[in-house]
Amino acid sequence: MLELLLPKGRIFNRVEILLADCGLNLSRPDRVYRPTVDDDRFHAKIMKAQNIPALIELGSHDVGITGHDWVQETGADVVELLDLGFDPVQIVAAAPEELDATALLARPGVRIATEYEALTRRWLDAQGADYRLIRSWGATEVFPPEDADLIVDNTATGTTLRENGLAIMATLLRSTTRVVANPRALEDPAKRQIIDELLLLMNAVLDARKRVLLEMNIGGGKLESLIARLPAMKSPTIAQLYGSEDYAVKVAVPRSEVARLVPELKRLGATDILETDIRKVIP
């Protein structure tokens, strides 16, 4: 059995959908932190993302899903196996807009509020700053100017910082959600097989989300012009229509190209164009 740690909070819903698309469905009553997985190879528990790297390192859990920022903050001895790309954020230093960042860091005893103590200390020590660190427990952006001179916090768009009169002065780290594992679990052949299979399915789902399947018919005389325009993972699937000189064409294309591609295919003579979502792409 593989012990799996899942992140609590808003990211949980995205992780739950990803696992369901992989074929692993979770069920749990409200406020229960030990969901049931409909695959008896897995035992799951929900924890705060901040705690997951250290708990994976301890070895009572084999695989977890957490932010790269918390892996770096805790310094946990875990292996990052897959970047899911969820929840992209930057860990930034920010100060009141009217203050000069260079002068601020040159002050003796500059006050910094943050949840990221280790990352912040490494950054400040590299600047040669004389500082006092204040551990925040959320709402870090409201500390300046009365209770801190600057903050180190995560941000996706910077909107909350700007709304509180703060300007970014440095970026310490860029982070997304990662799948991490205990090194010893990777050395266990039975657990490694389950982990590899899980990663295969996750990669297949993530790749499928970037693509759609297009199917269309085309006259024989227009086929080559159509094929020359089609992007494909390898090459399109082509079959002659029964009792006709026309062809059926099937191809997986990047989702981002569909809005431009479909009208162009129509102009090239394609008919009966169908667009279908793909569940998994397994090379």
Which CATH number does the domain housing residue 63 bear? 3.40.190.10
Confidence at 145, pLDDT banded by 50, 70, 90: very high
Domain end among 152, 175, 198: 175
| pLDDT number for residue 128 | 92
Confidence at 268, pLDDT banded by 50, 70, 90: very high
| pLDDT number for residue 247 | 96
Which CATH number does the domain housing residue 271 bear? 3.30.70.120
Domain end among 151, 175, 199: 175
| pLDDT number for residue 194 | 97
Rounded mean pLDDT, 97-102: 86
Asked if 135 and 192 sit in the same domain, the reply is no
> 88 preceded by cis ω (within 30°)?
no
| pLDDT number for residue 28 | 87
Q: Which of 19-33, 69-83, 222-236 has the lowest mean pLDDT?
A: 222-236
| pLDDT number for residue 234 | 77
Asked if 81 and 8 sit in the same domain, the reply is yes
Asked if 237 and 133 sit in the same domain, the reply is no
- The one-letter amino acid code at 76 reads A
Asked if 151 and 107 sit in the same domain, the reply is yes
Q: Which of these, 47, 40, 37, lies nearest to 12 by C-alpha position?
A: 47
Asked if 181 and 80 sit in the same domain, the reply is yes
Residue 271 lies in a domain: yes
Number of domains, the chain: 3
Interatomic CA distance for residues 63 and 42, integer angstroms: 10
**The tokens of 148 are what?**
């801190």
Residue 64 lies in a domain: yes
CB-count exposure of residue 60 (10 Å: 0-12, 13-18, 19+)? exposed
Confidence at 255, pLDDT banded by 50, 70, 90: very high
Question: CB count, 10 Å around CB of 174?
Answer: 12
CB-CB contact of 274 with 216 (8 Å): yes
Residue 141 lies in a domain: yes
Asked if 140 and 12 sit in the same domain, the reply is no
Residue 37 lies in a domain: yes
Asked if 141 and 162 sit in the same domain, the reply is yes
Asked if 182 and 76 sit in the same domain, the reply is yes
Asked if 18 and 72 sit in the same domain, the reply is yes
- The verdict on pTM exceeding 0.85 is yes
Interatomic CA distance for residues 162 and 139, integer angstroms: 14
Rounded mean pLDDT, 100-123: 93
Asked if 170 and 96 sit in the same domain, the reply is yes
| pLDDT number for residue 232 | 72
Residue 38 lies in a domain: yes
Direct distance between the N- and C-terminal alpha carbons of the chain, in angstroms, rounded to an integer: 27
Residue 283 lies in a domain: no
Provide the CA 178 distance to its chain's centre, in angstroms: 6
| pLDDT number for residue 235 | 83
Interatomic CA distance for residues 202 and 206, integer angstroms: 6
Q: How does the average pLDDT of the chain come out, rounded?
A: 94
Asked if 69 and 185 sit in the same domain, the reply is yes
In percent, how much of the chain has pLDDT > 70?
100
Residue 30 lies in a domain: yes
Q: Which domain holds residue 236?
A: 211-277
pLDDT in tens, 43-57: 999 999 999 999 999
Confidence at 210, pLDDT banded by 50, 70, 90: very high
Rounded mean pLDDT, 175-180: 98
Rounded mean pLDDT, 213-235: 90
**The tokens of 194 are what?**
């389950």
Asked if 129 and 13 sit in the same domain, the reply is no
Given a cut of 80, is residue 107 above it in pLDDT?
yes
- DSSP result, the chain: -EEEEEE-STHHHHHHHHHHHHT--EE--TT-SSPEESSTTEEEEEE-TTTHHHHHHHTS-SEEEEEHHHHHHHT---EEEEE---S-EEEEEEEETTS-HHHHHHSTTEEEEES-HHHHHHHHHHHT--EEEEE--S-GGG-TTTT-SEEEEEESSSHHHHHTTEEEEEEEEEE-EEEEE-HHHHHSHHHHHHHHHHHHHHHHHHHHTTEEEEEEEE-GGGHHHHHHH---SS--EEEEPTTSS-EEEEEEEEGGGHHHHHHHHHHTT-EEEEEEE-S----
Given a cut of 80, is residue 227 above it in pLDDT?
yes
Domain end among 129, 152, 175: 175
